[in-house]
Amino acid sequence: MHELELHDLVTGSCSSGQVTARTSGDVCEVRLDRAGGPPLVVRSSNDFEDVLLRLRAELERQRLLLLCNRFRRDAFVSSMSRQMSDGLSCYLVTPRRPVSPEQLVDCLAPAPREAVVTAQEASKYIEEWIAGFE
């Protein structure tokens, strides 16, 4: 279980939440329990990266950001990190520098508010990071 903060994009306030990741057979599941709201459960038969992408989309629809490493601006999931951790590890990348094992982190570990952005902002940053190698 991970104790994480949720940031409300409308009010700027934060609330606490508990995130639990588990597998049941071939299904990966993430459950978010939050103060003042019903639990949010997301499942996928692919891997946890797929679950986290779905969770992020739903939270953004609710105008919320979950302050975890996977939702940071500089979080990059390679096919190898995805395969090695079933989608629960990501790299925190630096402009014009390739990934290295030292940059591998737990996707659900807490992240500072200033590092967490929307999926669209993160995609733009990663696209620019990749373009820096071309």
Q: Where are the beta strands (DSSP E) in the chain?
A: 2-8, 14-24, 27-34, 37-44, 64-66, 75-76, 89-92, 104-106
What's the pTM value of the predicted model, to 2 decimals?
A: 0.92
Domain segments of the chain as ranges? 2-131
pLDDT, one tens digit for every residue, the chain (134 residues):
999 999 999 999 999 999 999 999 899 999 999 987 899 999 999 999 999 999 999 999 999 999 999 999 999 999 988 888 999 999 999 988 888 889 999 999 999 999 999 999 999 999 999 888 76
Residues sharing a CB contact under 8 Å with residue 94, sequence separation 6 or more, in sequence order: 74, 103
Specify whether the CB–CB gap between 123 and 15 falls below 8 A.
no
